Amino acid sequence: MILPAAMMDLAFDEARAGLAEGGIPIGAALFTIDGVLLGSGRNRRVQQGDPSLHAEVDAFRAAGRQRDYRSTVMVTTLSPCWYCSGLVRQFNIGSLLVGECRTFSGGHDWLADNGVEVTVLDDDRCVAMMSAFIAEHPDVWHEDIGLAP
Amino acid sequence: MILPAAMMDLAFDEARAGLAEGGIPIGAALFTIDGVLLGSGRNRRVQQGDPSLHAEVDAFRAAGRQRDYRSTVMVTTLSPCWYCSGLVRQFNIGSLLVGECRTFSGGHDWLADNGVEVTVLDDDRCVAMMSAFIAEHPDVWHEDIGLAP
């Protein structure tokens, strides 16, 4: 049984890889509840010029077609925005593991209210990486969450 | 000024193209409020084996990086699911034009409650195409909306 901290390590590695590519450092992974990795990904707005590839969507995509998400865990370094929260809710992903919700707070409470098992780790590494990115690149970050100038 | 019916024609053509490819017949397009097409797309779960490509996401992706969505219109042949409704809300897409909400009702009322200008055309062509697909391929349809067996 893989521990939540190990799941988050993998999502954090994705975020770090995104940062190294010049991208927004948010990483995600979809696991089965037993700890089998189905797919992982990262935000690729900058790298691929693709605004649809939020980290959670990239991980969901990497996992391919699945028939039942109820026993899966979406792991993400940052509280999911409405887009990614909607993904979790629509596909009945059973659990959500969040790195932090200090730099951005999305729909994780809404998901908890709608039956998703939500855990927020408040991981200092995630906070530090995201805080630094937002301070350096506020325009790219605001674009990524639909905040117009 | 392009009329809503003409915008829906384009989304419907996308849905029809998807059906011809063996896919789920849902189409979408993102326009400026003045009727300039920014991008269009269709559900590509079957064609590309990609569960993340709901029609609205495909159209959003095709439009590329944009800095401000407030004066844009998301046009979709079918009421958007939570995933696609979350997309509209997060990116502050100003208007939503829906073909029909009889075969599936997603988050269009939630979006209206949250400031999006929502119009439902109740387009018989959309209803007929989607009804026939659901009757023929219930498993693929249920997979597309996260309804486990």
Instruction: Answer yes or no: is pLDDT of B149 > 70.
Output: yes
pLDDT at A71: 98
Instruction: Answer yes or no: is pLDDT of B122 > 90.
Output: yes
Instruction: Answer yes or no: is pLDDT of A117 > 70.
Output: yes
- From chain A, the residues in CB contact with B91 under 8 A are 51, 83, 146
- From chain B, the residues in CB contact with A79 under 8 A are none
Instruction: Answer yes or no: is pLDDT of A60 > 80.
Output: yes
Report whether B30 contacts B57 (CB < 8 A): no
The distance of A49 to chain B (nearest Cα, Å) reads 6
pLDDT at A1: 62
Nearest to A51 among B61, B148, B149 (CB): B61
pLDDT in tens, B31-82: 999 999 999 999 999 999 999 999 999 999 999 999 999 999 999 999 999 9
CA distance A96 to B68: 29
Predicted complex ipTM: 0.97
For the residues A111-127, what does the mean pLDDT come to?
98
DSSP-derived 3-state class of residue B32? strand
- By C-alpha distance, the chain B residue nearest A90 is B82
For the residues A6-27, what does the mean pLDDT come to?
98
Is the pTM of the predicted complex or chain greater than 0.80? yes
The distance of A42 to chain B (nearest Cα, Å) reads 14
Q: Does B141 touch chain A (CB under 8 A)?
A: no
For the residues A69-79, what does the mean pLDDT come to?
98
pLDDT at B123: 98
- From chain B, the residues in CB contact with A58 under 8 A are 52
* Two structure tokens written together for A72: 């899966």
Closest CA to A60 of A32, A86, A38: A38
Report whether A47 contacts A21 (CB < 8 A): yes
